[in-house]
Amino acid sequence: MTPNIMLVDDQPPRAALLERALEDLGHGVQARLTSAAGLAGKVRAGAPALVLVDMDAPDRDALESLALDGDDALPRPLPLFCDDEALVVAALRAGVSAYVAGGSDPAWVREVVAVATARYREYRALREELEGGVADPAAQAQIDAARRLLMRRRRFNEPAADAALRRQALNTGQPLIQVARSLLAFADLLKARGGP
Amino acid sequence: MTDTAVRIGYMPLTDSLPLVVAREAGYFAEEGLDVTLRPEWSWASLRDRLLVGEVEAAPMLAPLLLATSLGRGGLRRSLATGFSMGLNGNGITVSPLLFHGLRALAEGPTPQDMALALNRLVAARAAAGDAPLVLAVVFPYSCHAYQLRHWLAVAGLDPDRDVRLVVLPPSQMVDHLRLGHIDGFCVGEPWNSLAAHTGAGHCLLSGYQVWENAPEKVLAVTRDWAEAHPETHRALLRALHRAAEHADRHLLDCLDLLAHPAWLDLPAEVLRAPFTQRLPGGLVGQPFPAHHFHVFAGFQANFPWRSDAAFLLGEMARWGQGPAGDRAALAAQCYRPDWFRAALDGLTSLPAVDAKPEQGHAAPWQLPGSAGPVELGPDRCLSYPDTEQLVPG
């Protein structure tokens, strides 16, 4: 039986990316929660082998308190489970914390935590790019062109067009420039076929 | 990072006031510090950011610092403190339903009377086959948890058997109380006042009634950082001590500042309530005296007493949280009065000893200091009532 993973993340696109990445590697995701409310009860009921939770979720303290129950089947903070300090630090720096049930396979835990760390890090880089603007002027010109296209075709105002581009970037896990390029390429394709 | 840049993580609570005053009144700047204040939403994330070096310092639940140094949750790193953030600030608040239940059973207004009423109420619920009361704290390693547990013990109850203790984020306590998910909580201000203000609950006891002038949070740093940046660390302690003195002197004005959307974003009257006799307490709604709540600098509130560490390690042991091993050594490793002395040398009278000799003072008392005697506050713990009145558990 594959051990079960519980994902707790209030940013659904990030959780979806992570779930896909884990399932591609054959790891079963038991539950994806967008809110950490009542987390301790859900963890008791669902008995996951591993809980991956946004480091900033307020309900983490309830998870921490489970470690004091003395029940080895309840997940405990990752540092109590493994000595791999580099793994723990990398995960926390990326913004994800992990809780592990006793008796889990250490190699499996390491692999899953590494995948989560990589996805969180990627997602953060993406967000920073979206919030910080794009350094390359050529790329910025393409993003501007994609925005104008949306404003013209979909009658969006500028903030709405921006929001649509960003949403698409976060939902697909692609950099903004990638989203802009595919949008422009698709428009060219339509034009070549005599579309609108 | 330059040597004067310091990132401080904090939980937005009334007791974060000295940080806000140090920023807004310029005490950080006067010490040449470039401080970033970073709000956190769980004690676990505050601890983790300190441990991985994303912040250099953070006001932390004093027992959490000790538990972390024992390797009880986060990465095992030596945390230490040279500065206590202040005294008091907690309260025990219950739902209107539990409040009325206790009022019907209490024979008098004292904390012991309320404890006896709670004992009877819990026994009656058990006899009727009702679910146990659910009481919340913000973290298992906290003074809130130990104050609540002590009051339950005074009521003749076993906190791990006769009630259910749960952990909730402080910012959600009031909502959970209103929704009936919990019957009460022990938490720091402003959440008791907010519960009273919104009608979600009644504040039964101040933390002061359980432990007078209790330690609460300490400025946690990693020992590695403090040793690598002694000058910056000392400047930080001086700025915070001066800000704490400022907060004691101009408390209401400072609370107005803290109420601002940039900080706690709550009505100023809620933050002011416990200090202006507007927080009704106990079963008859007699407002708490202001001295039951925060002391930011007075009574040597900022001195990191080794005896506080020893007392809290004793509480951890009392409630089955360990710790095994040499408690005095751990206290000496985690609480660093020498850091406080080095920072404040020549600026204020410093106590001649690192540990308070005893508890149990009913009135302010004095200890010899480097420049004249220093004053300390009353420090009794709530005593047990006449045990014959307790229903056997």
**Which of B42, B52, B140 is facing A60, going by the closest CB pair?**
B42
| Structure-token match 């209790």, residue found | B214
Intra-chain end-to-end CA distance of chain B, in Å? 57
Region B242-271: what's the mean pLDDT? 96
Q: Is the dihedral of CA B277, B279, B284, B290 positive or negative?
A: negative
Q: Where are the domains of chain A?
A: 4-128, 133-192
pLDDT digits (tens, 9 = 90+) for A90-108: 999 999 999 999 999 999 9
pTM of the model: 0.89
Do the Cβ atoms of A79 and B76 come within 8 Å? Answer: yes
Best mutation site among B42, B134, B187 for testing chain A: the one with the most A CBs within 10 Å? B42
Kindly list the residues from chain B whose CB atom is less than 8 angstroms away from the CB atom of residue A97: 44-45, 48
- For residue B54, the number of C-alpha atoms closer than 13 Å in the C-beta half-sphere is 19
CATH 3.40.50 for the A4-128 domain, yes or no: no
CB B85 within 8 A of CB B216: yes
Q: Cβ–Cβ of A61/B48 closer than 8 Å?
A: no
Chain A contact for B73, CB < 8 A? yes
Mode of pairing for the β-strands spanning B202-206 and B184-188:
unpaired
Q: Which residues of B touch A91 (CB under 8 A)?
A: none
Evaluate if residue B388 carries a pLDDT over 70: no
Sorting pLDDT into bands at 50, 70 and 90, what band is B393? very low
Q: Do B172 and A37 touch (CB under 8 A)?
A: yes
Give the whole-angstrom CA distance, residue A105 versus residue B103. 53
- CATH 1.10.10.10 holds for A133-192: yes
Looking at residues A163-175, what average pLDDT do you find?
81
Side-chain-side CA neighbours of B303 within 13 Å: the count stands at 24
What CA–CA distance (Å, rounded) separates A25 from A13?
19
Q: How large is the average pLDDT for residues B248-253?
A: 98
Model pLDDT, residue A196: 45
Is A55 an interface residue toward B (CB < 8 Å)?
A: yes
3-state secondary structure B107-149: CCCCHHHHHHHHHHHHHHHHHCCCCCCEEEECCCCCHHHHHHH
The whole-angstrom separation of Cα A94 and Cα A89 is 8
- pLDDT value for B392: 44
pLDDT tens sequence across A103-142: 999 999 999 999 999 999 999 888 887 777 666 778 888 8
Cis peptide before B378 (omega within 30 of 0): no
Interval B150-197: pLDDT, tens: 999 999 999 999 999 999 988 889 999 999 999 999 999 999 999 999
> For residue A84, what pLDDT is reported?
92
Note which residues in 344-373 of chain B have CB less than 8 A from chain A.
none
Domains defined for chain B, CATH in brackets: 5-88+215-279+291-348 (3.40.190.10), 90-213 (3.40.190.10)
3-class DSSP state of A46: helix
Q: pLDDT value at position A160?
A: 85
How near does any CA of chain B get to the CA of A65, in Å?
Answer: 6
Which of A55, A58, A65 lies closest to B172 in CB terms?
A: A58
Among residues of chain A, what percentage have pLDDT more than 90? 44
Residue A135 pLDDT: 65
Q: Is the pLDDT of residue B39 over 90?
A: yes
Across the interface, whether the CB atoms of B73 and A89 are under 8 A apart is answered: no
Chain A CB contacts of B67 under 8 Å are none
CA-closest candidate to residue A98, choices B75, B281, B91, B286: B75
Mean pLDDT of chain A: 87
B contact residues 304-323, partner A, Cβ 8 Å cutoff: 321
- Residue B237 is predicted with a pLDDT of 98
- Chain A stretch 64-83, residues whose beta carbon is closer than 8 A to a beta carbon of chain B: 64-65, 67-68, 77, 79-80
Chain A partners of B44 at a C-beta cutoff of 8 Å? 60-61, 63-64, 77, 97
Q: Do B18 and B86 meet the contact criterion of CB atoms below 8 Å apart?
A: yes
Q: Which two tokens stand for residue B123?
A: 């026994």
Tokens 């591993």 sit on residue: A50
Task: Mean pLDDT check: name the lowest of A155-164, B20-29, B229-238.
Answer: A155-164
What would the mean pLDDT of B6-28 be, rounded to a whole number? Answer: 97
The interface predicted TM-score of the complex, written ipTM, equals: 0.91
